Structure 1
Amino acid sequence: MSNVKEKIKAVTSMRLFLPIVCLIAVLLVNLITTPGFFKISINNGVLYGYVVDIVNRASELVILAVGMTLVTAASGGQDISVGAVMAVAAAVCCQILSGGKVSVDALAAPLALGVVAALLASALCGAFNGFLVAKLNIQPMVATLILFTAGRGIAQLITSGQITYVRVGSYKVFGGYIGKIPVPVPIFLAIIVVLLVHLVLKKTALGLYIESVGINGTASRLVGLNSTMIKFVTYVICGLMAGIAGVIASSRIYSADANNIGLNLEMDAILAVALGGNVLGGGKFSLMGSVIGAYTIQALTTTLYAMNVKADQLPVYKAIVVIIIVTLQSPVFKSFINKQRAKRAAAIAEGGK
């Protein structure tokens, strides 16, 4: 009996336990409210279904959550400009590919050039944020508020205040499908990004450096770590992740819509990090926890839409569920549960005497 209790305690104490439980809980609600939620079908060689839609639509959020996790762990703050940086990347990419025209049916420049330019622009935005946070020691929320406010204006300047359309099949592929493969390309891109970042963190000392700087930047400097550079690098990576997400989002609608691409996604990315069991004050982090958190948020969004919740009411319901989930994962709540268990065990022991 004691061995069983120890095993249960070992499982429940795992970092990914609560994030996985939260995701399963959301999916179970779907199973009850929407009977055909887990049904997957193939129409015209393409996979269809709520589950496919969740995994597909969560791709941008998963990529953003990866960058947000590193920034949070290293600096103890969040980058609230990632949604605007997505718009900037999309604007740069579409403007180059369209040759400055409002709408094109043929590329005016190589596809690779547009994508690389978009990623460089987003990395530059990340470097700007990183300079303010790491070098000038400005609070992350305040530093990234600059691009959060001005980023979409910059995107509007790049596109001359218009929505630039690139109606070309080769560009649509980033948000669509490749050949006869039934799985959407954004899913593959999200998997590739997560795997690459995971391998870099595990095969190098970068992950350990990020955690060390996040836990105690002063102590890290004393042992020889360049905490300024490490924080700077995480913001550059976060900007790059936003650029990739921006290209995917733009490809889905084959255009650069500066007002809507990435809108409010920065808040979902922060929530994904929190739902993943990561401490928003920095330090130790779980990349997979944030990924699970991202899918949980998207599953919740899809669930509410399936329940015919209106778009303007969606944030209210989402906020309520997120508050419940975050509360269940909070250290105070865990401490309360542990105390109650201890009291119950003590009462049982006394009754046995």
Structure 2
Amino acid sequence: MSMNALLRHRLFWPVAVLAALLLVNLLLTRGFYNIEIKDGHLYGSLIDILRFGAPLIMVSLGMTLVIATGGIDLSVGSVVAISGALACLMISDLGNQNDTGGVLTAVAVALVLCLVLGAWNGLLVAGFGIQPIVATLILMVAGRGLAQLITDGQITTINSSPYKLIGGGYWLTLPFGIIVVAALLGLTAFLTRRLALGLLIESVGGNAEAGRLSGIRSRGLMITVYAFCGLCAGIAGLMVSSNVSSADGNNAGLWIELDAILAVVIGGTPLTGGRFSLSGTVLGALIIQTLTTTIYSVGVPPETTLLVKALVVTIVCLVQSPAFRAKVFGRRRMPHRAAPPGPPQDVRAETGLVTRDGVGA
């Protein structure tokens, strides 16, 4: 592969940015790459990036498919809060919070509700023709209020070992959240890249009317995609709440929708829809989580953290922009040679001035 082709590859710049962030940590943070095994579990900064980045990867995964249809989902942060709030409320009402059956029931009910909320977003968009940003903004506002109603405006605290496993536990030496993300990512990649589902989603995002005329049931497909996004946000909500063994309806998942959109865009999926990259989304989410970890590791003052993060993300987006790179790093274009006199070939062909052998009559 030539250098120009490598630079044009959609995953080159996300990989380069992630490598640069890891290099900064190598130079500035002592022991950043150290990985230890304690009590049969893997520990280290790299493991922490994966563990704390798992909820963002999960939300970004659902957001990718929504954006691929030409939509957007601003309600995922509220769905994260609702999922954790409902699961923790049901577990807190159990006589024995370590009862596996009761915990599984609470998890299932929370995920079903999130699935329904996602499908509701899809119904508003595909069924009633409401703009995606407006339809999901409704649930973004109402959902945050619903999460606070579930928790009665308080932080619901639980002490459940089975529930703790989802976001804060380990399995096979790895954080359980990473395993859940890997499993769902693999399933999504199989359904969208090995089957025709991914092509159908891209067709809807590229031209919904053309897809409908081709026999694609775009309405049902869009509802399914939004429902899947709600499910992903629900799983992320379980991870966030189980990691701290509590649910905060006001702050859980706050602004995670913006990080998810950034992760999708950094990964190379255009907001206009029509195509998507799951691997790019994962890289984008890891870039954002690594950036957050780096900011805290190097001792950036808390009051400037958001400004530094915004600045770095802006630079990343500019570097990825072909137009920006052409203006800053590109060569001068050579002047075009003047076209020979006479009508162009296609005009001569239409007017019958071209013989069978291609020479003008």
**TM-score strictly above 0.5:** yes
Closer/same/farther in 2, CA of residues 105 and 297 from structure 1, 3 Å limit: same
State the secondary structure of the residue aligned to 1:37.
coil
Matched ranges for 1:2-13 at <5 A: 7-13=2-8
Q: Contact conserved, 2:151 with 2:248, CA < 8 A, in 1? A: no
Over alpha carbons, which structure has the higher Rg?
A: 2
1:220 equivalent in structure 2 = 211
State the secondary structure of the residue aligned to 2:302.
coil
- For structure 1, which runs of at least 5 residues remain unmatched after alignment? 1-5, 344-353
- Which of 109, 118, 130 in structure 2 is aligned with 1:126? 118
Matched ranges for 1:155-304 at <5 A: 155-178=147-170, 181-304=172-295
Give TM-score scaled by structure 2 length.
Answer: 0.87
1:90 equivalent in structure 2 = 84
2:22 equivalent in structure 1 = 27
TM superposition shift of 1:335: 4.2
Q: Could you tell me which amino acid in structure 2 is paired with residue 129 of structure 1? A: N
Matches of 2:162 and 2:94 in 1, distance apart?
18
Give TM-score scaled by structure 1 length.
Answer: 0.89
2:13 equivalent in structure 1 = 18
Q: Contact conserved, 1:87 with 1:261, CA < 8 A, in 2? A: yes
State the secondary structure of the residue aligned to 1:162.
coil
Q: Could you tell me which amino acid in structure 1 is paired with residue 162 of structure 2? A: S
Q: Could you tell me which amino acid in structure 1 is paired with residue 84 of structure 2? A: A
Answering whether residue 62 of structure 2 is matched by residue 71 of structure 1, we say no
2:337 equivalent in structure 1 = none
Answering whether residue 58 of structure 2 is matched by residue 53 of structure 1, we say no
State the secondary structure of the residue aligned to 1:279.
coil
Q: Contact conserved, 2:66 with 2:225, CA < 8 A, in 1? A: yes
Matches of 1:79 and 1:234 in 2, distance apart?
11
- For structure 2, which runs of at least 5 residues remain unmatched after alignment? 335-361
Q: Contact conserved, 1:59 with 1:187, CA < 8 A, in 2? A: yes
Residue correspondences, number = 335
Closer/same/farther in 2, CA of residues 310 and 43 from structure 1, 3 Å limit: farther
Q: Contact conserved, 2:98 with 2:162, CA < 8 A, in 1? A: no
Answering whether residue 134 of structure 2 is matched by residue 142 of structure 1, we say yes
TM superposition shift of 1:39: 1.5
Matches of 1:307 and 1:46 in 2, distance apart?
26
Instruction: Out of 235-244 and 129-138, give the one that drifted further.
Output: 129-138
Deviation digits for residues 23-53 of structure 1 (CA, Å, limit 9, x no counterpart): 1111111112213211222334332221111
2:338 equivalent in structure 1 = none
User: Alpha carbon RMSD of aligned pairs, Å?
Assistant: 2.0
Q: Contact conserved, 1:172 with 1:254, CA < 8 A, in 2? A: yes
Closer/same/farther in 2, CA of residues 163 and 108 from structure 1, 3 Å limit: farther
Q: Could you tell me which amino acid in structure 2 is paired with residue 139 of structure 1? A: Q
Instruction: Out of 46-55 and 233-242, give the one that drifted further.
Output: 46-55
1:113 equivalent in structure 2 = 105
TM superposition shift of 1:105: 4.7
State the secondary structure of the residue aligned to 1:58.
helix
Q: Contact conserved, 2:97 with 2:103, CA < 8 A, in 1? A: no
